[in-house]
Every structure is written in C-alpha cells, then in structure tokens.
Structure 1
Amino acid sequence: MSQLKGRVTLATVAGSAGVSIATVSKVLNGRSDVSPATRARVQEVLERHGYVGRRPEPVQRDTVELFYQGVVNAYSVEVIQGVVEAGQAAGVDVVLNSRPKHPPSTGAAAGRAATWIRQLIANDRRAAIGLTSELSEADLAALARARVPMVVIDPANTPEPDVTSVGSTNFAGGMAATQHLLSLGHRRIAYIGGPPTSRCNQARMSGYRNAMESVGAGIPAEYIWLSDFLYDDGVAGGSAMLDLRDRPTAIFAGSDEVALGVLEAARARGLRVPEELSLVGFDDTEVARLASPPLTTVRQPLREMGAVALRTALQLAAGEPVASHHVELATSLIVRGSAAQYGLSSIAAS
C-alpha cells in the first residue's frame, strides 16, 4: 500500500484499504457486519497512519450527588455499590462527596447549608442522596428553597415526615436476632448499638426490647450500650459488658463491625465464641462472612437499598409521585457459627 500523505481522512483510509467510507466507519464504530479480513486490513491502515478522527462532542449526563458523614466502612461500601450500579442502569453519573459534621445549633449552620446547596446547583446535580447523614433544619430549608430532591438512606437522626428515606425492617430484624438467642436458651442478652438519636438504632433496640419482654427476660441498665456502629465501639461496649460480674451470655450487636469489636473484646479476655459467649450482628456485610467464627447476623439488602434510593431520587427529580416517603426493605436472619445453645458455656454456671 502507498504511504498516505497530508491529513488522513476517512476517504483516504478507504482508498488505501480498497473499501468504502461506510466500511471504514463501521470498523471505527465496532460494528460486527464487517468480515475479519476486511476489518484487519482497515485497522492496519488506521494504525499505520495514526488516524484519530474528529474529537467527539462531550456527552452531557445527569449527575446525582451521594454524600456521607463520618467514615466509609463495610456497610457503606455495599450501599454505595448499589447506588452506583443503579445509576449506571439509569444512565446517570453518581458523584461521591463527604460532608463534615457540624454542631446543628451554631449560627453558621444556615450559611454552611446555603453554600452546600449553591455547590449542588452550580454542579447541576439532578438530586442528592444522603447516606446515614444527619440533616439539620438549615439543610432541609435550603434544599426546599432550591428544589433539590433529596433521599436519605438510614438517616442518622429522625427526619421530618416529608423527607423521603430508605431503610430496612430494623424493628423486625432486632426482634429476629434476639428471638434467635432466646430460642437457644439465653436470657442474659445485652445490646450494643449505635447513636441514641439514630432511627435505625432505635428500631433495632425496640425489637430487642420487645423480644425480651415477650418472655419476661429482664434488661439491666448496664446491658444497653449505645455509641456508634463502628469496630472501636464494639471493643469498648464489649469490654464493659464482659467485665460485669453478671456478664451477658449473649450479645446482640447493632452492626457487623460492632460485632467484630465484641469478638476482639472476648478474645482479649480469653472467652471463646460461641462456646462462652453467643453473638449476633446486623447488616451481613463481607466482614460477617470473613469473621472467625463466621458471624450469625441479620441481613439488610444493602445494595438494593442504594438502588431504591437512586431510583426514588430520579422519580422526585422528574416530578413523579412516590408511593411512600419512607421505604423499608425486608431483613432476614442468617445463621452461621457465632451463637450456640445456652448451657454449653462455663459462663452459664456463673
């Protein structure tokens, strides 16, 4: 083939390869209706002469902002994955952002909220999704004025009734976890959970209390430990529980990470799980399956929660009505190896 000179165009490539311009275009666009021999010939000419074509016009895609407060952990990774996958299916880009926590009563709260909303508008976000985030009155007022649709996943505080949120059946999950331990014969069951103001924590703890009260099992004040849903909180809460004179024979942890912290507190005291302490977590993240022993836990459909939040946010952005301002997806108990029948442990005789 002769060396092409000057600007390389589709016409010159086609002439050199002995094919039509339409065939060259098909090769460039990855079309399948070109024979392998012809495709190879055209690609050889394209590569030999460095054909790059015309820069395509950028495709403008809708964006949704997913923001969170605190740290990204095993729970939030699963939810984020669900949001991103649903965004891909809907042709929407998801932008991840972190918002620092601020005291809600400071005079600067309204200014910070206004700055945040201006950024959302300037970046042309179609909607916003909050992950376990706390929304202040200033945040909600600014969002309403700017008409930016908002969906919150597992809100860190109890939102206003008209704030759309997505969660799971936390009350039922808390009951299921506790009933499982009760069915194994345990009565000294403690709860280590998240922030007292967290709606999902309140529901899980209410499920725990309901199950305990249904069999007349007492709950000493020291059997409730509320802090956050993180590993260090499990270590601290577990240490406090396991140092009690009448320590619990079983612990229901409000998250898998808390459960891992309890496992460490038990290990540090030479207590075996489940032989000397039964343990149930909540979430069913990857860490539950990797724990030793594998963690019995309440499964939340975390990825589906993220997907529902994304689809709901797009509905709100399109001005479409939503069936409910609060969606709860079903939880289920996953039985593994961290809980055992009461009576197997030396703790039972204490």
Structure 2
Amino acid sequence: MTATDRAPGGELPRHRPTLAEIANLAGVSPPTVSRVLNGQAGVALATRQRVESVLREHGYRRRDSEPAAILELVFHALESLWALEIIQGVEQVARERGLAVVLTEMQGRLTPGRAWTEQVLARRPTGVVAVFSELTVQQQSQLATRSIPLVVLDPTGEPLHQTPSVGATNWSGGMAATRHLLDLGHHRVAMLSGPTQWPCCRARLDGFRAAMDAAGVYVDPALVRISTLYVEGGLRDGAELLRLPDPPTAVFCSNDLQALGVYEAARRAGLRVPEDLSVIGFDDLSFTQWAGPPMTTVRQPLVQMGATAARMVLRLADGEPLEQHRVELATTLVVRESTAPPRT
C-alpha cells in the first residue's frame, strides 16, 4: 500500500481494511495477522498485542466463516447445584436455537489460561458466557476481534461498562433476610459473608448492615465473619460463633452451603434449629426444602439468570443491540422452618 492509498491524515481509506493492510500497519507479515485472528500459538505476546491494537483501531472483523453452532460456557468451579441450575438455564436457550453447549471448568481459577483462549478462538463459538470468572482485557479483545460476543454472569469484579453482565439483587436479598430475623425479635444476629472482593458477597453483607442500621441494632464485629462459600466454611465459622461468651441467636449466611454447615455446627454444640438458633441461607438450592428442618433462604433465580445471559449473548451474535448492558434479577425471601423467635 502506497502513501497515495491513504486518506488525509495518514489514515486508512474508508473501506474494510484487508489483512495485508493490517499486517503493514502492525509491521508484521500477513500470516502473523492470520495466526492472531485464529488464536494460534507461535506469536510473541508483544507482537500479538500490537496486531490486536491495530485490529481494534480499524474495526477489523473476520467475515470469511460462520461461527460454530455452539455456545461456550465457562465456570470457575463446578462444585454445587448452584452451577447446575445456571447450566440448565443456558442449555434451555441454546436448545431453542439448535446450539450445543461446550462447558469449561477452570478448577477454581477465576481467569482462563492461554490454552483455553486459543481453543475458543479456534472453535469460534456463537458466543461466550463466563460465570463467576474474570477474562482479562486481552482475552476480551481477542474475542471481540473474532466477533465472538461475551456476557458475564455474576461477575467477580466490578462489571465493566462495555461488558454486558447478569446478576441478582444481592443487596435487597441481604436486607430482606436480616429484616426477617429482626422482625422475629433477634438482636444478636451474625453474618457469614463470602469473600468481600466479590461484589455479590459484598452486596449481601452491605444489605445485612443496612437492615441492622435501619432497625437501630448494633452490629457486633465479633458476629461478622468472612468465610468460604462451602459447607466446611459454615461449619468452621459457625462453630466459632457458637463458642463465643455471648453467641448469636440467629445467623444469616451468604449461601445455602454455608447455612448447611451452620446446621451441623449447631448439632455438634447440642443446639436445635430453630429453637436455639435461627439460620437463613441464600440461593434456594433444591436440597434446602429437604434439610432438617427445611431451610429459610433467599431465592436467587439461577436458572433464569443463565437463560438471560444466553439470550443476551445470542442477541449480540445476531447483531442486535441490548436493551440493558447490566441486568439484575429479583431475589425473594422464602420462609420455611429454620427461623423462629429467639428464646426468652
């Protein structure tokens, strides 16, 4: 391409740039640009970033092949019914569109590795739904370059404005659970939070604090614990709470697994739920109605969240604009038999 081929100011003419023109601007060979577009190995990181920058700058999108008839679903971990319900929602929408779902579990890692990125770029799915995962800016750019839309479900970081996301009303859910305990007459209310670097956990904790503050009830720092979102976390931290000189009469947990752990901590301490200790969970997983006693919890519409994320990513794949880039679905307090007024 000569200088006369350029528009005033040295910019590319107003037509879709060719692969050769992109290569010229990036100072690389056309095969190198092709490898970047296809997510193939053998390109130095600095070179890949330079090529992707030029691709973004000039709005280059591949049009020489159709996306595969698959929807890519990425989880940081598959360790509970929580994940299964989201999968069901995504699969329902994918089935309606005749798409298969490819599922990747990152074994607890929040960010997929380079191998995953290269495999996805090579597969070129219709779209990617990332659940409780963090894709790097570079990974997001690589997907965008290949015209692969991305939607994040329950993001672990602050949702980026340019990244569509789906979540639930965690703050109001935390407030509703705490108000229920306060209305029953509890004042020594404990809170087992999940990791507070995750917005969903922080929002539930903030909802708890807001309800306590609105009721004029002091929050004892000893009753607020940052725990893990597993049965083991609820058992460990629940046992510590119950060993306090002035233990709580009620515990609000950040998820149902924690609450199940608190059930066991109470049993080992010789206490009964709800006669001696009221317990509330969060999520409303299927086992909660069969727990002993059936668990009061905050229902998070997980199936609907998965379906919403899938519909959003398919709408983007169809080239249609989203009505909202951030969707939050309502939570609902489900009162069963694990909560009761405190002993007088």
Q: Give TM class, smaller chain.
A: 0.7 to 0.9
Q: Secondary structure at the match of 1:62?
A: strand
Q: What 5-or-longer segments of structure 2 have no aligned partner? A: 1-66
1:31 maps to which residue?
Answer: none
Aligned residues between the structures: 278
Q: What 5-or-longer segments of structure 1 have no aligned partner? A: 1-59, 345-350
TM-score (norm 1): 0.75
Say whether the 8 Å CA contact 1:295–1:336 is kept in structure 2: yes
Shift of 1:103: 8.5
**Which residue identity lines up with residue 259 of structure 2 in the other structure?**
A
Shift of 1:216: 1.2
In our comparison, the structure showing a higher alpha carbon Rg is: 1
Mapped to 1, the partners of 2:334 and 2:99 lie a distance apart of 33
Shift of 1:129: 0.7
1:70 maps to which residue?
Answer: 77
Deviations 1:163-188 (A, max 9, x none): 21111111111110000000000011
Say whether the 8 Å CA contact 1:241–1:248 is kept in structure 2: yes
**Which residue identity lines up with residue 195 of structure 2 in the other structure?**
P
Structure 1 residues 127 and 103 mapped into 2: Cα distance closer, same or farther (>3 Å)?
A: closer
Mapped to 1, the partners of 2:176 and 2:78 lie a distance apart of 28
Say whether the 8 Å CA contact 1:135–1:157 is kept in structure 2: no
Q: Secondary structure at the match of 1:176?
A: helix
In the alignment, structure 1 residue 96 sits paired with structure 2 residue 100: no
Mapped to 2, the partners of 1:195 and 1:142 lie a distance apart of 29
Shift of 1:124: 2.4
2:40 maps to which residue?
Answer: none
2:219 maps to which residue?
Answer: 219
Mapped to 2, the partners of 1:158 and 1:228 lie a distance apart of 20
Shift of 1:308: 0.4
Structure 1 residues 127 and 281 mapped into 2: Cα distance closer, same or farther (>3 Å)?
A: same
1:307-322 matches, cutoff 5 A: 307-322=307-322
Shift of 1:91: 1.7
1:173-184 matches, cutoff 5 A: 173-184=173-184
1:189 maps to which residue?
Answer: 189
2:337 maps to which residue?
Answer: 337
Shift of 1:121: 2.0
1:293-308 matches, cutoff 5 A: 293-308=293-308
Q: Among 85, 105, 120, which residue is 2:92 paired with? A: 85
Mapped to 1, the partners of 2:138 and 2:79 lie a distance apart of 25
2:263 maps to which residue?
Answer: 263
Mapped to 2, the partners of 1:194 and 1:325 lie a distance apart of 26
2:292 maps to which residue?
Answer: 292
**Which residue identity lines up with residue 67 of structure 1 in the other structure?**
V
Structure 1 residues 101 and 332 mapped into 2: Cα distance closer, same or farther (>3 Å)?
A: closer
Shift of 1:137: 3.8
Q: Secondary structure at the match of 2:177?
A: helix
Structure 1 residues 305 and 204 mapped into 2: Cα distance closer, same or farther (>3 Å)?
A: same
| Cα RMSD after superposing both structures | 1.9
Say whether the 8 Å CA contact 1:61–1:93 is kept in structure 2: no
2:46 maps to which residue?
Answer: none
Structure 1 residues 139 and 271 mapped into 2: Cα distance closer, same or farther (>3 Å)?
A: farther
Shift of 1:160: 2.0
Deviations 1:151-210 (A, max 9, x none): 111122323222211111111111100000000000111111211111111111111110
**Which residue identity lines up with residue 327 of structure 2 in the other structure?**
V
Structure 1 residues 155 and 243 mapped into 2: Cα distance closer, same or farther (>3 Å)?
A: same
1:127-166 matches, cutoff 5 A: 127-166=127-166
